[in-house]
Structure 1
Amino acid sequence: MPLARRLTLGDAVAIGLGSMIGAGVFAVWAPAMGVAGSGILIALAIAAVVAFCNATSSAQLAAVHPVAGGTYAYARAEIGPWWGFIAGWSFVIGKIASCAAMAMTFAAYAAPEGWQIPVAVVAVAALATVNCFGVTRTALLTRILVACSLLGLAVTVAVGFGSASAAAPPPLPDASAYGVLQGAGLLFFAFAGYARIATMGEEVVDPARTIPRAIILALGGAVVVYALVGLAVILVLGADAASSTAPLADLLVAAGWPALAPLIRVAAAAASLGALLALLTGIGRTTLAMARESDVPRFLAKVDERHQVPQRAEIVIAAIVIVIVLVADLRDAIGFSSFGVLLYYLIANAAAFRQTGAARRYPRVLQVVGALGCLVLVNSLPVIASLVGTAVVVLGVGYRMLRLHLAGRRLGS
């Protein structure tokens, strides 16, 4: 059964913004400034350029292939089933790690000491339940969470720019080329949410027109928000941001507005929930597409007749995320997730590069720049993240090889 087309342009933009303006904007500045130093804005620009190139590839592909699954479906059509599988597998494993990180970030802001893990588990279960009752409910809740996040960020930026004339903060350390690239890799992780729009291509009204517009609008809005917030952090905290666990809350305290710090906690919690909700939704659609092709168990290809969502996939993914929250140390989750996401977009650029004729909306140079950017940023990630990511991708490839071998034997017998 196909999914219902219910999402408007506004819904799609909200889902994209909810994915990008998530926990990253509240937490990414400390690690990014710690490695990029005074080159943090250069790192932001690099991440934005790579994200823009990747976004145009996703938009071009989604306009021609308006089905669930994102680059998994696009690469299957444009390059071949194996490339599609690697893209889909990379997306699923990377974003499942992101889901766990978002849930734990939400709990860190919203739960008292000692209650973070139970609250994170409840958050995953609650949002998975929302997803199971229909995509329009998902879009409505995402709009509410994005509005809360933007309100908190607007207050922070206003306070930051308003106090810029106060005593100068300690300057950021000098930048190195490698440090700037590391910072760009971390910031790219925060930008990567526009893929969620493409993965829901089977549920968007007039996808050939809506999806490209929604991707560019959502990414443009996120770049503006990140640039303003980054400037405010630099102006008020300077080098102190690199050692802060909650830089935006510390910004308000340093600017003389400590009473507003709870507002940022609420906004950060809302943003984390918005990102988690959109992530769960996107992973469910990619899993559905892979299950339809037997690249994961076909049991997950079932679409609920009443609510017209892939409930089985949503429930299984939520269960896996809950297990990770309960047992895993997620300090390296961002690096591992970035590995999967960058590999996913590398294949998206390759698939878009092959398109010709009326399907081509953007010049091929954007796909070349996007692919090269993905390769450079992958090589800037911590070694352990790359090794673990490679091992999990190889495991997925081995599973598919075994499935194809067994299917061939059954046909031959």
Structure 2
Amino acid sequence: MNSIFTEIYNDRLFQIIVSAIVAAIVSVAAIPVIIKISRLKNLMAEPGERSSHIKKTPTLGGVAIFASTLISYFLWSNPDEGEFVHLSISAMVILFFLGVKDDILVLSPKKKMYVQIAASALVVVFGDVRLENLFGIFGIDEVPYLLSLPLTVFVFIALINAINLIDGIDGLAGGIGMICGGLFGLWFYLNGYFAMACLAASMAGSLFGFLRFNYSKTSKIFMGDTGSLIVGFLLTMFAIKFVQLNIAYRFDPNALFSAPILAIVVLIVPIFDTLRVFIVRLKDKKSPFVGDRNHLHHILIDSGMTHLQASMVLWVFTVVSTIAFLFITKNSDNTTSLYILGGLFGVYMWLSHILKARNAKRQELLEAEEAEAKRQKEIQEQQAIILEEKKLAKPALEIR
């Protein structure tokens, strides 16, 4: 009996599942405490012009995500984790303090950028988490070491902030993080990289627990910059390690995919959304870094969807795109696959434009209906005044 229990306890899949469950439980247990403290200390986000919310909301959900991820990850010994995982956790701690300070005090974008670069450089330079091969895309294979360092740091910064940009409605960033973490974690487990699989499962579990409160009407909380920085950093690290570890499979005839293309597709929602809003803002001669309601999730909300419905559309888009590209890249070279991905982005741009134009037309009709209703009300009020004046004038005539 003891041997069976020991065998189950030491099974890596069992440990990964337990890590995800523990992370969810810790997250669910911690968030009510964080909400209570946030309300007592007034650590709340005020609804802004671009906000879809009308009440002040606590923003320190990332504290629970950070704590539950690390607690559940350290449940087991990870002999294969390597130096880069230790460095990644160190970088997470740096980003955690940056996020907490920004959620409470609000830092300048420049200061946040410097700290993000430092945290990313820590794992890139010392942990050797690098984009070292492009798998023949545009004829480029191995990337020179000195070029790969700034390139990888740039990818970290871009994706960290892309996750932050999609954190505009309830459940979107949390759900995308959970799905992408689960997909990367599954591959890491199937290929024997337990430490990475456990870390990905822990993050996914913590986000699952967070979503229960992110959608709550009475106990709502946002992940804030604390959460988006940590989730963005971990997803970027998973994506780059996924590409690195797949270099060995590049010429395998049984390989199902091209790692760089699939890594992009798994993160398709934050990547496509960020590219699109930057292009639209530049086309409109605006700074690409000035916020607006041009994100697809805002467009979906403006079309009449709830936060849950809009998030689910983009969750499904992530899963369907990933499955589709598993088959598309099977018989296509990487450059062709990238062109196909570019075509999909074009369709994404077109559909977003159509939906936004329809929303604008719908808004015009609503405004016209409101104006007509207001005009009719004014006419009725004027008629009522005239009728009242006639009633008052009639007795005077009878007296004469």
Larger Rg: 2
Question: Shared fold (TM-score greater than 0.5)?
Answer: no
TM (norm. structure 2) is 0.32
TM (norm. structure 1) is 0.31
Structure with larger RCO (C-alpha < 8 A, sep 6+): 1
Which one has a larger percent helix, Structure 1 or Structure 2? Answer: 1
